[in-house]
Chain A
Amino acid sequence: MATGPAIATGSPRSRSWRWTAITGVSLLALVTIHMVAHHFVVDEIGGLRTYQHVLDYISTPIIFVIEGGFLVVVTIHAMLGLRSVLFDFGLSERRRRLVERALVVLGVATVAYGFALIGILASRA
């Protein structure tokens, strides 16, 4: 590749880069489990589950833990990705701090809503 490794990969010392990589690698396993469990082992069109199937699925303790973990990891990865994209605009230090705080709030709200959603659905099974 034409560019040097430092340019092509970013600084491995960067904390955000490290966490993006860690959550990204974790997501490879979690997304595969999520996609296969939801769309490849179900006979319906497009592999989509019926209402009762979804409730039974999400109320299984191990699935609840896996899906909860998936929600947390994917949200962290998404917020770190958004941070990188927004920082590409060449923001000042003050604006970078604001962006970081806003993304923490958005991430926490996303995880809270997701857990409330799967918790309510699991309780209906």
Chain B
Amino acid sequence: MSERSPRQGRDAGVDEILEGRREPGPVARKLPGPVAWFDIRGRSTGHLAFSLNRITGLGLVFYLYLHLLVLSTLLRGEGSWNGFLEIATTPLFLGFDVLLVFGLLVHGLNGTRLALVGSGFVPNRQKALFWSFMIFGAIVLVYTAIHVFGSEG
């Protein structure tokens, strides 16, 4: 195995982070692995995409269990569910809905980019693909926000 190739079992972007830590410069790069995701100073678009994917992914895992917890209120009957709906239809919670869609779009579209590149499709267009998907995602997010908040009136 060559020195630059990723180690077996290690995922996208980790080698870039480890390589970055060895470089001299003003940016602190000695922190443990996942903490480095948040340090995007002076990094490439690839690192930004990797960090966004990990952070939105963790957020979505948290939401998966929150969603199961919320749906469990249905087991306690109509009264409990109506109580939840009263809270869930406030502007604050509708804002959380839009935040959820933001996470889904970033993670889904960036994941699509990774799958396309990793499978050998468009290997030399990663940066263009990333920004194209993010612009598309922004348009869908604006539409969703209008739909979610528009339903309030």
Given contacts A31-B104, A48-B88, contact A89 B34 (CB under 8 A): yes
Is the pair A10, B68 in contact by a Cβ cutoff of 8 Å?
A: no
- A105 within 8 Å of B (CB atoms): no
Question: How far does the alpha carbon of A118 sit from the alpha carbon of B141 in the complex, in Å?
Answer: 29
A62 at the interface (CB under 8 A from B): no
Chain B residues closer than 8 Å to A1, beta-carbon distance: 44-46, 126-127, 130
A24 within 8 Å of B by Cβ? Answer: yes
What residue of chain B has the Cβ atom nearest to residue A96's Cβ?
B9
The answer to whether B12 touches A8, judged by C-beta atoms less than 8 angstroms apart, is yes
The answer to whether A46 touches B8 (Cβ under 8 A) is no
* CB <8 Å contact, B57 and A10: no
* Cα A44 to Cα B57 with chains together (Å): 29
Q: For the complex, give the distance between the alpha carbons of A114 and B71 in Å.
A: 9
The chain B residue sitting closest to A47, CB to CB, is B151
Q: Is the CB of A82 within 8 A of B117?
A: no
Determine if A9 and B89 form an interchain contact, defined as CB atoms under 8 angstroms apart. Answer: no
| Pick from A2, A48, A55, A87: contact of B46, CB under 8 Å | A2
